[in-house]
Amino acid sequence: MSGGVVIVGAGQAGVQTAFSLRQAGYADAITLIHDEAVLPYQRPPLSKSFLKEQQDEEALAFRHRDVYDDHQISLLLEERVLQIDRPNKNIRLATGSHLAYDHLVLACGASNNRLSIPGAELPQVLDLRFLDEAITLRQALANAKRLIVIGGGFIGLEVAATANQLGLSVTVLEAADRLMARVVSPEISGYVLSRHSAEGIKVHLNAMATNIQENKEGQLTVSISSGEELSADFILVSVGVHPNTELAEEAGLETDDGILVDEFLTTSDPDISAVGDCARFPFAFDTSLIRLESVQNAVDQARCLAEKLTGNPTPFQAVPWFWSDQADVKLQIAGLTPTADQTHILGDLESGKFSVCCFNEGVFIGTESINSPADHMASRRILASNRTLSPTEAGKDGFTLKAFASGQ
């Protein structure tokens, strides 16, 4: 029997690959391997609505069980892939059996970075990537009063904003000199800082947590690099992720902070592809090698891969986009903007509705929008087209991204 496509990991990328394959007419076997006991689920709500509402877990599942069956996708729960035997084109599972593949898809995702400071292993120091961790966090939020979030990136700030809305006293510690420094412009960092501060969240920048101590009552004290000490009932650590590359490395595939793939998402072995958070790929807009951690990237790569595996290979060139939902701050990013050397603001910060257009050497590379979805959607259209937008054009009186995108 043919092994068909075997997919390692049933996160956003793995599940999308399976369904997109069927949509594209793939007729052989599809096996999707998931290392948890629950049905595969989406992660974005875990730092947002799931913490606030008594949302049941079913509302997070990508698909109901019978939909996998209807699409003849064989979903293995509580199963892990331990090893890839490339010469024989099969994989070894934790439960002992072997599975043959015609094509193997690595959709292994990423794992949270840990803090390596004393006290990081205490049970009140929480992590957030998996559903069970979100349930623990939700319970902690319901029972505790003071939260310290270590890490001022998207996820840390989303949890901080949610906890603040729930009435907890919230402090955020960020090691860099501004929030979300890896992903947004200083303008957005500054604006988001002012909004969260106005809502009562205490933000410490340039603050490294150096030590966590627990007293007899279970209260935590966090020491930070400035010498200050802060107390909390519990802590959320959100200090970035690293790609799950071990399986690929042990199989001798090329990796470099991610599983290396070409523009068709093929690894150094033509019978193995990688998609989503674990893949490092050539960026269509400037050919640098990048790795993205976003739903859009996982979903678009999965679709592109399904096309390749059904005989329609096209290079991966989707426009990246991101969102972050931090209480009243709805942040949307079109394109990749960290290399911006020039920005232009449309709208005004006071109104809480504006966009930062980003340029690199005079070339439009993307837009970071606050509560301005029309600007965001227009920017995606502009980036996907071949039109060039100059800083001078964007600076003209009456310029709007929407009008420009529709060619006016």
Partner 1 sequence: MIKVTYVASDGTKTDVEVHEGNSLMHAAVANGLDGIIGECGGSAMCATCHVYVDEAFADRLPPIDDMEEEMLECTASERRKTSRLSCQIEASSEIDGIVVSMPETQI
Ligand X SMILES: Cc1cc2nc3c(=O)[nH]c(=O)nc-3n(C[C@H](O)[C@H](O)[C@H](O)COP(=O)(O)OP(=O)(O)OC[C@H]3O[C@@H](n4cnc5c(N)ncnc54)[C@H](O)[C@@H]3O)c2cc1C
- Tell me if 120 sits within 8 A of 237, measured CB to CB: yes
Helix (H, G, I), strand (E, B) or coil at 224: strand
Strands of 298-338, DSSP E:
321-326, 329-335
Q: Which is nearer to partner 1, 265 or 295 (CB)?
A: 295
Q: Does 371 bind partner 1 (CB under 8 A)?
A: yes
Helix (H) or strand (E) holding 16: helix 12-23
* Distance separating alpha carbons of residues 168 and 200, to the nearest angstrom: 10
Question: Residue 272 class from Cβ within 10 Å (0-12 exposed, 13-18 middle, 19+ buried)?
Answer: buried
153's tokens:
């990136």
Cα–Cα distance between 108 and 14 in angstroms, integer? Answer: 8
Member of 378, 382, 383, 389 binding partner 1 (CB under 8 A): 378
- According to CB under 6 A, which residues from 143 to 182 bind ligand X? 155
Nearer to ligand X, 81 or 170 (CB): 81
Quick one: how far is CA 172 from the chain centroid?
20
Q: Which of residues 111-150 bind ligand X (CB under 6 A)?
A: 128-129
Q: Which amino acid is at 331?
A: L
**According to CB under 6 A, which one of 8, 192, 253, 370 is a site residue for ligand X?**
8
Regarding 121 and contact with partner 1 (CB under 8 A), the answer is no
Angle between helices 131-143 and 154-165 (to 10 degrees): 40
Least spacing, CB of residue 246 vs ligand X, in Å: 8
The continuous run of DSSP H or E covering 369 comes out as: strand 363-370
81 binds ligand X (CB under 6 A): yes
Under rule CB under 6 A, residue 379 binds ligand X: no
Nearer to ligand X, 161 or 230 (CB): 161
CB 265 within 8 Å of CB 204: no
Stretch that binds partner 1, among 42-50, 95-103, 206-214, 279-287 (CB under 8 A): 42-50
Stretch that binds ligand X, among 38-46, 218-226, 338-346, 377-385 (CB under 6 A): 38-46
Q: Which is nearer to ligand X, 107 or 163 (by Cβ)? A: 107
Q: Does residue 45 bind partner 1 (CB under 8 A)?
A: yes
Shortest spacing between CB 180 and partner 1, in angstroms? 16
Enumerate binding residues for partner 1 (CB under 8 A). 19, 23, 42, 44-45, 48-49, 55-56, 58-59, 61-64, 67, 70-71, 295-296, 299, 323, 325, 330, 332, 371-374, 377-378
